Amino acid sequence: MLTYLRLADAHDPALPSEYGAMRASTADEVVEAIRTGGGTAVAVEADLLDPATPARLFDAAEAELGPVDILVNNASGWRQDTFAARDRDRNGRTLAPVSAASIDANLAVDARAAALLIAELARRHVARGAMWGRIVGMTSSGAEGFPEEASYGAAKAAQTHYTMTAAVELARYGITANVVHPPVTDTGWITDAVREFVAGDDHHTHVATPDAVAEVVAWLCSDAAALVSGNVIRLR
């Protein structure tokens, strides 16, 4: 089951116009690709700012597909903010001061919703006596912080801690929990300026494709990764 939310962003001239179109679209294309490949897929539009959404998503998944064994926390409430007095980041994208609104937008989705989804998986998993499960989170945060994306980095760090706690507390129920830290990934927002930044930065190796990152997530959700839990897996 796929979740998505159509977003009508104000156009940022530093981002490709196609990126805004993608963020305003449905999940129909992904659903069709899965079905064409022989899989079963449904999509639900859901706003994770609403704390009641996680339970509704699990209800929908169970009604359409059966009990949920795997959770991938990939949604993001990304809103760029900074403590510095700048209105553009190093790549020319719009930058705003840290505010209550920017904090809440990031934390509510990347941290609170991720934790509530983990809690919902755990509650239902234990209630039905299941003994196999997988949780995978996605992060971009590091111990050094996240300049120019302060609240996003903080929210991702919080999600990492929730996931590491789940790895310990849910191990007895056969659930593994890990976090994947992808490299810069081309989901439609990459520009020449970003590629130049990656090429000249010591902390980055290359720009990844979504498929390459998905391969790692899929492996973590497989039986082959049964002994892998409680890790932040940094991809290069």
In a domain, 85, yes or no: yes
Range of the domain at 217: 69-234
CA atoms of 130 and 124, how far apart (whole Å): 9
State the DSSP code for 27.
S
pLDDT of residue 31: 97
Judged by average pLDDT, the poorest of 15-19, 87-91, 123-127, 176-180 is: 87-91
Rounded to two decimals, what is the model's pTM?
0.92
In a domain, 174, yes or no: yes
In a domain, 24, yes or no: no
User: For the sheet containing 70-73, what is the strand order?
Assistant: 70-73, 133-138, 175-181, 232-234
* pLDDT tens digits for range 99-136: 999 999 999 999 999 999 999 999 999 999 999 999 99
pLDDT of residue 42: 96
pLDDT of residue 80: 85
* pLDDT tens digits for range 78-99: 888 999 988 887 777 788 999 9
CA atoms of 51 and 60, how far apart (whole Å): 16
In a domain, 50, yes or no: no
CA atoms of 82 and 96, how far apart (whole Å): 6
**In total, how many domains does the chain have?**
1
Instruction: Indicate which CATH number applies to the domain containing 96.
Output: 3.40.50.720
In a domain, 51, yes or no: no
In a domain, 10, yes or no: no
Count of residues making up the chain? 236
In a domain, 197, yes or no: yes
